Amino acid sequence: MSTPESNRVALVTGGSGGIGRVVAERLARDGFAVAVQYAGNRAKAEETVAAINAVGGRALAVGGDVADEDAMGTAFDTVRSAFGGIDVVVNTAGIMILAPVETLDLADLDRMHRTNIRGTFVVNQQAARTVRSGGAVVNFSTSVVRTQLPTYGAYGAYVASKAAVEAMTLVLARELRGRDITVNAVAPGPTATPLFLQGKDEGTVDKFAKATPLERLGRPEDIAETVAFLAGPARWINGQVLYANGGLA
């Protein structure tokens, strides 16, 4: 039997800023107690927690490297001790380093894949061990996995890491057969976060916006709505990748 909405608990990795923060705040509005995971910026995580608590929600911050199994084990234990269990795990944590395959520094490849692949695996492993019946796991991929725009020529290593996330998602959904836990991934398109906008001139941003039939960039709120759907009412969607990109081809 599913846990009542008012007693549900979500852990959001990378929840201190960008899409992760908006996801944490969105789930809190749905009645979730929310754990905001951060890697290095505790102050920003505490800001997210304070914003949730200020409007009557329940939140706490938990630190640790998502690729460190001991740190994540401690984080999951902390959340369970504080809130009584975990129902939803949303793994937004990830890094993106752009360079053509020909010139990418292999140290950057290792660093990115450590967070995006190993980190997703560690978080999913902990989720598989702890998420309660009726719960959900939501991973993060990228629409660049399937887009064919020529401007994405430097995304090879990043796309490879996210393709691994998608494969992991589909397999874990099947591994959790019989436990009433869904596992899906969200694949955002270009989204107006500070990280995305950094270093781009107005013309470049406009090209990204016009690439979608809706002719705008995504907003973090658009992505958070998709996560909230998968974390709540979307019980018949499982083992899928949802492309939240405004129709980007």
**154-204 pLDDT tens trace:** 789 999 999 999 999 999 999 999 999 999 999 998 888 877 777 788 888
The CATH class for the domain spanning 5-244 reads: alpha beta
Nearest to 35 by CA among 95, 76, 93: 76
Specify the residue for token string 């975990």. 86
Is-contact 35 9, C-beta < 8 A?
yes
pTM for this predicted structure: 0.93
> pLDDT per residue over 116-164, tens digit each?
999 999 999 999 999 999 999 999 999 988 876 555 567 899 999 999 9
Active site residues: 155
Instruction: State the helix-helix crossing angle for 156-175 and 106-113, rounded to 10 degrees.
Output: 30
CA 30, 123, 39, 61 torsion-angle sign: positive
